[in-house]
Amino acid sequence: MNQRLRNYGIQNEESDIRVHVCPVVRRVYIYPTACGQEAITRDAHPLKSGYQKGYDFPTATGYLVPPFEIKKCASIQLNEDVWKHFKFQKDDTTTQKGKKAQDLVLGMIRNGLLPIPALGEEVNEKDIQIKGQDIIIRGNAITRSGIRIQVKCDFLGGEKELGGTGNLFLQTQECNPGGHY
């Protein structure tokens, strides 16, 4: 059984945007990955071990960072019906939680509920403006191409006042003894 932690987390992932789905506080937190990477390099946050159900050894390490100590972090509150639909449970497997989080974020994207930085260009040609086009969005403000999103189910994460831990877990190492993805 694999018990060796390997260097795998926010510091070396190739995403542009990070989204933490936090079912306990009923919030979704979104921020540019680079801002999360910057937050863990400031040596201002504790490094803690994380555990998967059924294992008595650490299966991850990561930094505990309050959401709003991550630059450009936004908190999104969704309708309670969304949370009821996905039925996140504490006893769900890591795979189940991750799939539910990913499906929730896909739904947010499809319904225009995820604030993603984009490049807006003003239309200056009068004939095009007359046709009702004042702004055109091209690419995104981070990479000028497709947007790569990493989704994490951070079950207990989020603001303490809402019942969360007060932090987001920014993972830097993991082992996956059960082979769950």
Residue with tokens 């319904």: 111
Pairing of strands 27-32, 74-77: antiparallel
Mean pLDDT of 14-29: 96
Which of 59, 100, 66 lies closest to 83 in space, CA to CA? 100
Structural domain contains residue 179: no
Q: To which residue do tokens 């403006």 refer?
A: 129
Tell whether the model's pLDDT for residue 68 goes beyond 90.
yes
Backbone angles phi, psi at 16, to 5 degrees: -100, -35
Residue 149 backbone phi and psi in degrees, to 5? -115, 130
Give this prediction's pTM.
Answer: 0.88
CA distance linking residue 44 with residue 21, whole number of Å: 23
- Domain count within the chain: 1
Taking the alpha carbons at both ends of the chain, their separation in whole angstroms is 16
Q: What percent of the chain has pLDDT over 90?
A: 64
pLDDT for 42 equals: 80
Residue 73 structural domain = 6-117+147-174
Question: Tell me: the pLDDT tens digits for 101-138?
Answer: 999 999 999 999 998 877 677 888 888 777 788 887 76
Tell me, what's the pLDDT at 11? 95
- Residue 142 confidence (pLDDT): 63
74 assigned to some structural domain = yes
The pLDDT value given to residue 23: 98
Q: Is residue 134 part of a domain?
A: no
Note whether 50 and 153 are within 8 A (CB): no
Selection from 27-41, 49-63, 105-119 with the highest mean pLDDT:
27-41
